[in-house]
Structures are given as structure tokens and as C-alpha cells.
Amino acid sequence: MEQKLKEFAKELFSIDAIKFGEYKTKVGLMTPVYCDLRVIVSYPKLMETLADLLIWKIQNVERYDLICGVPYTALPIATVVSIKTSIPMVMRRKEAKDYGTKKLIEGVFKPGDNCLIVEDVVTSGSSILETVKDLTGATLKCTDAIILLNREQGGEQFLKNNGIKMHALLSMTQLMQILHEAGCIDKATVQKVENYLATTKVDESVMKKSVPDNRLILSFEARAKLAKNPISEQLFKIMRCKQTTLCVAVDILNSTDLLNFAERVGPHICALKTHIDILEDFHPNLLQPLQEIAKSHNFLLFEDRKFADIGKTVEYQYSKGLYKISSWAPLVTVHSLMGRGVLDAIKTSEGLEKRGVFLLAEASAAGNLISDNYVKETIKMAEEYPELIAGVVCQNPLFLNNPGLIQLCPGVQMENKQDNLGQRYNSPLTVVLEKGADIAVVGRGITQSSDPACAAERYKKMLWDAYLQRIESSS
Ligand SMILES: O=c1ccn([C@@H]2O[C@H](COP(=O)(O)O)[C@@H](O)[C@H]2O)c(=O)[nH]1
């Protein structure tokens, strides 16, 4: 059977059911490998082989009375399995009929019958779960799903969390290995897919098959209307008007250099991100010309203070002291680590009337201690403060169903993969098309360039083209 599986994998490649290149997934992100098993109905011998392989795999499943294919691709596959094993099948309608019996599940079954799910490819597991919901709603039990290919993007865990054990004939890693050994794909392609799988997490909102108002395919114009924070609304409008999603991190130690730099990159950016406390010659007199430059080039000042203390201390750090951040920076970053008191402090402190917070959910630094649960709770916290939160700093496509929030992604550079202190980089294309970034933060990629204005313009164009490519399918 192992050999039969390898031969089958090669056949899938030869009929173009597995393709390599740049493909857009249904949630708007790009993938270097695309699996389209719908073509398999045109190859009856392959259908039969697949059914044999699945039947072989079914031996691991303890008990089932019925089988059900996830519509539509797996329907014919489940049919062949049913015929070959004489296990009766039930069929799930995607929409209930609006006449007659209005049944979602067709076929003969008894309450409590255990139904084995059959599916072709699992990315998120959401399609299986939709089918499971209808089956259990019709009094059936579902505990196991038998599938051809596990794309290894979180679906197995997601299903497990929802009480379904997944049995896959192949994982994406195994498939890559088989195709490489057979000479169908080269090492570079294998590495590209491996890298994509290792770095692209699919969160639960991505896992919903049809994400309502998916931010990845909505235009900034549309999202400006959905923004609940006045600064994120303004940011969306600036991005659209200046056609830029570039935020430059101006990590420069001298005030005059900072002003010169802001003037030069100003036409190409939507926000200028500062670490004001690294200036060796800081004087409050810097702030007025900086604000004027921001106004004249229509970009926002963004102090990356990463507040992380008790609320009262944050109130002082934000509005008092040498920097009086709340008086000149409409945007600031906040760690979720210390809880909601920090957000309450930012919300109520004196300073600019309109303000927005980017909450830090993930970090670009290698070896950071942020866990999946921390990320999840941070997103939850962000969604609890819609009037204050402009967006989230993260490295993965999160909160897809909240288009009013902006994903800000630092760690962007054209070439470098990592600096010598643990900073990790992705290319402009990757952050927008694979990681879901709305705004990309570029620091040394521009500040250390011999011509920062020209470099900023290049980044701006690349990022904007990638954004247009991302929303293309919805226009
Ligand atoms: O996870 C994070 C959060 C913030 N940053 C900040 O972005 C810039 C990146 O500068 P580069 O020169 O492009 O590396 C810097 O100001 C960081 O403090 C981040 O990199 N990662």
C-alpha cells in the first residue's frame, strides 16, 4: 500500500491536482502549493485507487455505521468508498431545500449512528466542521474524519479541539518528499513549501471558510467606513489617498537627522514610527517641526513606546515626563501583558483628543516567549476596546473578520532574513500576501540605505502592488 500511495501521489501531480507557483487561497492569502482534487472525477482509475487507499486507512477507525463526504469534492470519493465497502452513505446538502422535506442530511440513518467523514484536503478543518455540525444537528455522531491530504496548517489540531480525530493518507511534508524523490519537483520548491508551512499559521478566524467582511480582500476605502477608532479611519484614508502602506521605523539617534529623514521619506509613508527615547539630544523643541512635517506630508506620528506597566505608571509615561507622548503622537504601541488597566490609562490620559493604540500580539524577534494563547487573548482584548484600538502588531493573518482593525507588521526587508540580535525579516510581498499585513514597518531597510527617499519609494510601490493583488478578487 505504501508503494501504491507513492504512485498515487505522482499521478496527482501529473493530472495537475497538485500545482506549484503563486496561488490565492479563498481567504485572500497566497500559497506556493495548490491542491485541486476536483479534477479527479475525470480519472476513474485514480478514483478507485484513492478509494482503496482510504479503505486501507479506515482500518484505524474503531466504529462507524455510515459515511459522509464533505461537499462537493469528496462526495464522489465517499460514494466509491461506500460502494466498495457496502457501508451506507448519507449526503449533506449545503443549503436546506426550500420545498418538500427541507432536510440537510439525505439518506437513511438512526439517531446516534456514527458517521465517518470523508474529505480530500484539510487546511483549516473548517469544511469538515461545517459538515459535522449538520450531521450532529440531525442526531448523528461524528468522531473521525478520513482524508487524503493534511496541509499541516493547523487543521488537525482545530478538529481535535472540536472532538474529531483526523486520519490522513498523506501530510504535505510527505507529499513533497515523494514528489521530490520522483523528480517531479526540485529542492528549492520543497524548501519554499516547507518555509511557507513553518511560518504561516492559520488562526481560527482564517479557519472559518467564509469569513464575513474578510479584511484581506476588502479595500482600505471600504475598511475606513468600518473603522471604529478615529485614527485608524484616518490611517485607512491616508493609505488610500497616498497609495502607501509603508510605515518607516526611524530609529535614528540625532534630532536633526530625524527631521531631515522625516522630510525625505514623508511623501512615501502613511506613518513614521519613532522610539523617541533613543534620541541622544532630545529636546521638546523637536516636536513642533516634527508635527509640521507630518502634517505637510500627510502621515501620522507613531511612538512605539510599547507600554507595559500598571495603569497609573503608564498614564505618567504617556502624558508626563520629558516626552509627553500623548501631546504629539496620535498612535502608540501597548503590550497586552499587563492587562486592561494600560488601555484604560491611555484612554483617559490628557493629550490629543484623537488617539489610537496598536496592541502588540506577536513579535518579530526570534525566541520571544509569546504563546498562542497570549496571541488569542490579545486579539480578544483589542476587540473589547474598539474606540481605542487602531490595530494589532502581529506577524500572522489574525482577526480576519474584523476589517476595521489594521494589522501592522514589523520585521520587513527586501533581503535580510535575520540580524545578529534576533530580528527576523520577511519580504514586502510575503508580509502582505502570506502574513496578512496591512501596514509594513521598515526600519534599517530604509534608514541604512544610501538613498532613503528612493528606498522608501521602492518599498511603497512593492507593498502597494501586493495589496492591490490581494484585494483583486473582490473588485
Ligand atoms: O515585533 C516587533 C515590534 C516592533 N518592532 C520595531 O520595528 C522596527 C523594526 O526595525 P528594523 O530596522 O526594520 O529591524 C524597530 O523599531 C522595532 O522596535 C519590531 O521590529 N518587531
Averaged pLDDT for residues 165-184: 95
Work out which ligand 1 atom sits closest to the CA atom of 275. 16
Q: How is residue 439 written as a grid cell?
A: 501596514
Please give the distance, rounded to the nearest whole angstrom, from the Cα atom of residue 352 to the centre of ligand 1: 25
Per-residue pLDDT at 100: 55
- Higher pLDDT among residues 312 and 207, named by residue: 312
Averaged pLDDT for residues 34-62: 93
Averaged pLDDT for residues 403-413: 97
Tell how many helices (H) and how many strands (E) occur in the chain: 17, 16
Catalytic residue among 10, 208, 306, 347: 306
Residue 297 scores a pLDDT above 60 = yes
Residue whose CB lies within 8 A of the most ligand 1 atoms, among 274, 304, 307, 444, for a mutation test: 304
| Confidence band for 203, pLDDT divided at 50, 70 and 90 | low
Residue 208 scores a pLDDT above 60 = no
Please give the distance, rounded to the nearest whole angstrom, from the Cα atom of residue 302 to the centre of ligand 1: 13
Residue nearest to atom 9 of ligand 1 (CA): 443
Q: For 285-288, which contacts have Cβ atoms below 8 Å and span 24 or more sequence positions? A: 286/255, 286/258, 286/259, 287/327, 287/328
Closest CA to 150 of 35, 16, 19: 35
Per-residue pLDDT at 198: 77
Average pLDDT, the chain: 92
Per-residue pLDDT at 14: 96
Residue whose CB lies within 8 A of the most ligand 1 atoms, among 336, 423, 442, for a mutation test: 423
DSSP, collapsed to helix, strand or coil, labels residue 149 as strand
Please give the distance, rounded to the nearest whole angstrom, from the Cα atom of residue 443 to the centre of ligand 1: 7
Per-residue pLDDT at 102: 62
The pTM score is: 0.73
For the question of residue 309 being annotated catalytic, the response is yes
Residue 202 scores a pLDDT above 80 = no
Chain segment 239-252, per-residue pLDDT in tens: 999 999 999 999 99
The secondary structure of 23-50 as a DSSP string is EE-TTS-EEEEEE-GGGGGG-HHHHHHH
Per-residue pLDDT at 22: 85
Chain segment 16-30, per-residue pLDDT in tens: 999 999 887 766 778
Residue 207 scores a pLDDT above 50 = no
Q: What element of type H or E holds 118?
A: strand 115-122
Please give the distance, rounded to the nearest whole angstrom, from the Cα atom of residue 411 to the centre of ligand 1: 6
For the question of residue 304 being annotated catalytic, the response is yes
Residue 209 scores a pLDDT above 50 = no
> Is residue 249 lining ligand 1, measured as CB closer than 6 Å?
yes
Per-residue pLDDT at 98: 54
Please give the distance, rounded to the nearest whole angstrom, from the Cα atom of residue 433 to the centre of ligand 1: 20
| Confidence band for 269, pLDDT divided at 50, 70 and 90 | very high
Per-residue pLDDT at 204: 53
Residue whose CB lies within 8 A of the most ligand 1 atoms, among 394, 441, 447, for a mutation test: 441
- Higher pLDDT among residues 443 and 202, named by residue: 443
Domains identified in the chain and CATH numbers: 2-210 (3.40.50.2020), 215-472 (3.20.20.70)
> Is residue 344 lining ligand 1, measured as CB closer than 6 Å?
no
Chain segment 310-364, per-residue pLDDT in tens: 999 999 999 999 999 999 999 999 999 999 999 999 999 999 999 999 999 999 9
Assembly ipTM: 0.99
- In the annotated binding site for substrate, the residues are 251, 273, 364, 423, 443-444
For the question of residue 19 being annotated catalytic, the response is no
Per-residue pLDDT at 320: 98
Contact 381, 343 (CB under 8 A): yes
Per-residue pLDDT at 126: 81
> Is residue 363 lining ligand 1, measured as CB closer than 6 Å?
yes
> Is residue 306 lining ligand 1, measured as CB closer than 6 Å?
no
Residue 201 scores a pLDDT above 80 = no
Residue nearest to atom 4 of ligand 1 (CA): 410
Q: Is omega for the bond preceding 459 within 30 degrees of 0, making it cis? A: no
Q: How is residue 372 written as a grid cell?
A: 498562542
Chain segment 26-44, per-residue pLDDT in tens: 667 788 999 989 999 999 9
C-alpha Rg value of the chain to the nearest Å: 26
Chain segment 93-127, per-residue pLDDT in tens: 876 555 555 678 999 999 999 999 999 999 878 88
Per-residue pLDDT at 99: 55
